[in-house]
Amino acid sequence: MAKKATLLNTKIWLSSPHMSGHEHKYIKEAFDTNWIAPLGPNVNGFEKDLEIYLGNETHVAALTTGTAAIHLALILLNIQENDEVICQTKTFAASINPVLYLGAKPVFVDSEKDTWNMCPVLLEQAILNRIKLGVKPKAVIVINLYGMPHKVKEIQNISKKYKIPIVEDSAEALGSSYNNKKCGTFGDLSVLSFNGNKIITTSGGGALVSKSKEIKTKTIYLATQAKEPGLEYSHVTTGYNYRMSNILAGIGRGQMEVLEAYVELRRKNYNYYLKHLKHLKVIKFLNEPEGFYSNRWLTCIELPTKQIRDELLKLLINNNIEARPSWKPMHLQPAFKHYPKYLNGISDKLYKKVLCLPSGSNLTKKELDRILTIIKQYFG
């Protein structure tokens, strides 16, 4: 009886780490060979695994966090104080904070309804308006939100037309693809995260993906205090301590063995929710447009009103189920709301109406059914 009660009340997490059992062999090897440092065979191995997985002639540098990767991406693009960087407003603050580290200025652009990512039409309007005001933006940060690829072709065309480079924040979208090419390869520089809640994790970690060996080398140089070659400790520029630990890279290598399987499991969760909720016409799901393939990092549903969303959110939390509203847009954040913005109402609407449901690759059918029972109970 007591056991049953515990089972019923066990917390269901939104997106918890999911170890495969393959991680230990790489970590053990690191201990056995004393590679307990932010360099070593696991770091090189993890980078190679990612390069092979992403394809498209990518070069990957493993770093401490996704946020560090965005910071270095902006430095590599030579973003300086007072420069303007166009940013998707609908995202997590980590996408934006590095712009502020550099004393640069974010300019927020709203989403379109098909993918919830940056609206190409509004992006072009924003660029033209900034140019008219006398400052050409130096970069665009675009997101693949909740695993859904952004409108790659349209955004790339604008980037080429105005010669403004793209940073693709693919922290949530490892395993997603667009026209059969992997997300994380679409920016002039792209960013991955291996934080504890992402599709695969190293507990904390990130990577910068580029198209050339020289950029990878430069990234590693900046991430290791910008020490010049040679025996003397010579420095000609500011460096950072952003290199990934060889222990954590070992976790990453183990996780890479199951990445494809985890994408399948997250997509299965999405389809299970869809199958059991689609008869409730008030709930909207985000379909994949043709050519778009999402890792379904999080399954998100759009409800008819904020009130319904909030009531359902509360009900789930009261039942020990971790659900969340979707990211609060950056232009609404007290920290960022004074920066320029180009809006169409979509991110505001999504913020009010969208609910993120538990989506981990380690969810059991029992747990999914417990969540579904509560949602169905709410709608009677």
Q: Which residues contact ligand PLP (rule: CB under 6 A)?
A: 65-67, 91-92, 94-95, 143, 169, 171-172, 193, 195, 206
Query: Phi first, then psi: what are they for 259, rounded to 5°?
Result: -55, -50
* Tokens read off for 301: 């549903």
Closer to ligand PLP by Cβ: residue 67 or 246: 67
Place of tokens 């065309």: 157
Which single residue brings its beta carbon nearest to ligand PLP? 66
CB of 252 to ligand PLP, least distance (A): 12
Closer to ligand PLP by Cβ: residue 169 or 302: 169
Dihedral of CA atoms 202, 169, 340, 110 in degrees, nearest 10, equals: -120
Closer to ligand PLP by Cβ: residue 277 or 358: 358
| Set 138, 182, 198, 341: catalytic member | 198
Query: What does the alpha-carbon distance between residue 81 and residue 61 come to, in Å, rounded to a whole number?
Result: 25
CB of 61 to ligand PLP, least distance (A): 14
* Tokens read off for 118: 């940056």
CB of 111 to ligand PLP, least distance (A): 13
CB of 174 to ligand PLP, least distance (A): 11
Closer to ligand PLP by Cβ: residue 67 or 326: 67
Closer to ligand PLP by Cβ: residue 67 or 159: 67
CB of 194 to ligand PLP, least distance (A): 7
Pair 20, 255: CB distance under 8 Å: yes
Query: What does the alpha-carbon distance between residue 192 and residue 47 come to, in Å, rounded to a whole number?
Result: 12
Pair 332, 283: CB distance under 8 Å: no
DSSP state of 28: H
Strand order in the sheet with 284-285: 284-285, 299-302, 354-357, 324-325
State yes or no: is 198 an active-site residue.
Answer: yes
Query: What does the alpha-carbon distance between residue 186 and residue 169 come to, in Å, rounded to a whole number?
Result: 10
Catalytic annotation, residues: 198
